[in-house]
Structure 1
Amino acid sequence: MDTPYATEISIAIPAIQLAARISKHVLASANKGTIEKAEDLSPVTVADFAIQAYLTKVLSSSFPDDSFVGEESAAALRANPDLLQRVYDVIHECIDEVSSSSSDDQNESQIGIAEVVKRGAPESKEQVCELVDRCGDGGKDGLSADSGRTWVFDPIDGTKTFVRGEQYAINVALLEGGRQILSVVACPLLSRKATAPVGNASVFKVDNGEDGEEGCIVYAVRGFGAYVRPLFVGQGSGLAVCASEPLKRHADGVTVSGLRSVSCWNLLDSGVDDAHKAATERLDVDFPGSDLLGWVPRWVSLALGLANMTVWVYKRRDRYAKIWDHAGAMLLFEEVGGMITDVDGKEIDLTKGRKLSANFGFVAAPRSVHHVALKAVRQTLKEQGKEALLNAA
């Protein structure tokens, strides 16, 4: 992709490949170091901490003037020396594996990959905590138009499904002044050749033989389209350079009869499941269609054309989405012709901080029929007596 962000892409892709190696290393372990966060009892694993620290180290080394936002904080690591040691060890083990597998006949691009990977090695366990906290404290004051460049990470989106060996994603986004500019997402268990419908337990793999591939990376730059490539290629899941394919703008010109849904059915307490179902079926669209817990996998499925609409209404007006679940990943769908607003019809505002406090829920659909989908959602809420979830829009 020939864009003004070619350098950022050339660094972010090998970085997210190594992050995916970390996730698979932890996934293969019987003990994933899972603990519950004190603030909301959601799970977090060794992989979450390790990937956030690693990505921060790579990208801060490459772009020292940028700022960083991520889901995790290091409080649990500081309180648990054994967990911290595991996080430190898994980063170095995965970096060493990549370095030791490098061959003498590498081309210039592969040498570049090795150099990028090594930039993410933390110098100490204390630095691991500092790197995690650099993201954990990021974005609290919002991302105004003059806030410059900010990288946003979700190290493991779908931790609940990750620990079960089901679909999850690693999200890396670059914002400028709170505006999505670059998205790079890795889905280690989703092939670029997957077919709909996909579910949490749908693990798509191409035979990982000598010429096989595993997982996918989907990435986009605003105004330059979206692309897909294998995450790993060849025996040993190497971090080789390989070709990317442009994604078609499949959402352009879609009619209501061509809508296909992705949702999360009956797995999260935050949403109004019956409203999601009724609004989707009001459009004569099968529900749930593709059924995925994590938001980032859902945005990827929309980009890949496995679906082209999603609806989400929270149970309360004071419940807000988190920036790392959506920033960047939404751009993937927008670059194939999608339109995304909240339930009030407002554009998604990423400038308010770690929570998207200016927006309530999501309605995503092809731009050509987004207004129809939005109307169906609002009419459904009125008919179900949920007017309190609507504003006057």
Structure 2
Amino acid sequence: MDSPYRHELEAAIAAAETAAHISREVLAAAQADATAGSFDVVKDDLSPVTVADFAIQALLTRTLGDAFPADGFIGEESADELRQSPKLLSRVLAVLAQCAAANTPFRDADDLCDVIDSCSTLAPGTGPDRIWVFDPIDGTKTFIRHEQYAVNIALLEGKRQVLSVVACPLLSVDVRAPVTDDSVDPTGRGCLLYAVRGYGAYTRPLLGDPGEVLQPRRIPRHAENATSPRDLRSVTCWALLDSGVDVVHKGVAEQLQVPFPGCDLLGWVPRWAVMAVGAANMTVWVYKKRDRYAKIWDHAGAMLLFEEVGGMITDVHGKEIDLAAGRKLEANFGFVAAPKKLHHIVLKAVHDTLKAQGRTNFSRISCRYCQPP
């Protein structure tokens, strides 16, 4: 891809490839020794944290920080657990030394922790105009089960996503619907997706012969071809999380006569990825509580993949997703994503369903958002 962000894209792809290698090595080590304790740390929100989360965030921050020192960085993790656990810290240093020492030198343990912490406090709008956003492992729970997960890298300029690189080490480059968490690529090659705003979305294997890896294929703008609700194909996370209102998501699909759940994935980044490649083209997410907000690293960049194939993404109120609102997307509530020509139909179905189910406190919306573009 020839674009004004060629240097950034090349650096991010190289970092994503190394990050995917780290994730594979950590998985292999954990499977080889079930007592290794790679997955024995728990964060405040009760989601598991792994050696891979810390190692990859450090890798991405140091690599891209060296390449673009004037930019800011946002990542999911802080180094608090590492500072409190010398054993865990030594594992992270060891896997980095094994996988990436030549490219990502860390002077010592304090340097590693400082690098991780350097992107745990910055928020959009409070630092440089250009900010990189990382999710080192999206889908940590499925990662532990050796199921679908992703490494997410985004570059923001102000409120705009301008670059996305997503590595899905267990997703086939030729994946077909329905895709679920246990749809693991039998070839072991995995999938890399990337996009630059206005220049399209591309995909290629993470691993493979040089000719195949060096010749990515541009993903057609398939979402532009969807003109009828019959063309809609859903992706969701059905009955696996307690943050969303499952009956609303199912109700919307039933109103639109869309098979449900269709593709069914825990991680948000894999969901955006399968929408990009055309295995799905619609997702709806209504949180159970009005004060529940999405986290920027689960969506920034990965959403751009779907937009670059003709998709449109808003929140439940029809508002554009504001990526400058903070580490949590507090200016938005939930998600409605669909092909541009059908988005207004899906959005109206969401509000009809909310009204029918008596959830009017979730559907404060101007009627203009439900009209065709």
Quote the Cα distance in structure 1 between the aligned partners of 2:176 and 2:105.
Answer: 37
1:176 aligns with 2:153: no
Which residue is equivalent to 1:88? Answer: 93
Quote the Cα distance in structure 2 between the aligned partners of 1:285 and 1:198.
Answer: 16
Q: 2:56 aligns with which of 37, 51, 54?
A: 51
Give me the CA root mean square deviation.
1.5
One-letter code aligned to 1:43: P
Following superposition, the deviation at residue 29 of structure 1 comes to 2.1
One-letter code aligned to 1:128: L
Q: 1:347 aligns with which of 289, 297, 320?
A: 320
One-letter code aligned to 1:13: I
Which residue is equivalent to 1:75? Answer: 80
Which residue is equivalent to 1:252? Answer: 224
Contact kept? 1:181, 1:221, Cα under 8 Å: yes
User: Kindly, what percent of the aligned residue pairs are identical?
Assistant: 59
Q: 1:124 aligns with which of 108, 115, 120?
A: 108
Quote the Cα distance in structure 1 between the aligned partners of 2:335 and 2:244.
Answer: 11
Which residue is equivalent to 1:143? Answer: 125
Alignment of 1:1-393 (within 5 A): 1-30=1-30, 31=36, 32-38=38-44, 40-95=45-100, 118-139=102-123, 142-143=124-125, 147-206=128-187, 214-234=189-209, 242-254=214-226, 255-393=228-366
The C-alpha deviation readout for 1:328-381, integer Å capped at 9, x for no partner, is 000000000000000000000001110000000000000000000000001101
Structure 2, unaligned stretches of length 5 or more? Answer: 31-35, 367-373
Quote the Cα distance in structure 2 between the aligned partners of 1:230 and 1:148.
Answer: 32
Contact kept? 1:57, 1:119, Cα under 8 Å: no
The C-alpha deviation readout for 1:232-267, integer Å capped at 9, x for no partner, is 114xxx999521110000000312111000000000
Contact kept? 1:147, 1:178, Cα under 8 Å: no
The C-alpha deviation readout for 1:71-90, integer Å capped at 9, x for no partner, is 00000000001101100110
SS in 2 for 1:336: coil
Structure 1, unaligned stretches of length 5 or more? Answer: 97-117, 209-213
Contact kept? 2:70, 2:128, Cα under 8 Å: no
SS in 1 for 2:99: helix
| Runs ≥4 residues deviating over 4 A | 238-241
The C-alpha deviation readout for 1:186-239, integer Å capped at 9, x for no partner, is 000001111110100110132x6xxxxx001100000000000111114xxx99
One-letter code aligned to 2:5: Y
Q: Tell which deviates more after alignment, 51-60 or 124-133.
A: 124-133
Quote the Cα distance in structure 2 between the aligned partners of 1:15 and 1:183.
Answer: 12
SS in 1 for 2:224: coil
Give the TM-score taking structure 2 as reference length: 0.94
Equivalences, count: 359
Contact kept? 2:296, 2:327, Cα under 8 Å: yes
Distance change >3 Å, CA 57–CA 147, structure 1 → 2 = closer
Contact kept? 1:247, 1:336, Cα under 8 Å: yes
Contact kept? 1:262, 1:310, Cα under 8 Å: yes
SS in 2 for 1:156: strand
Quote the Cα distance in structure 1 between the aligned partners of 2:73 and 2:174.
Answer: 32
Give the TM-score taking structure 1 as reference length: 0.89
Contact kept? 1:61, 1:119, Cα under 8 Å: no
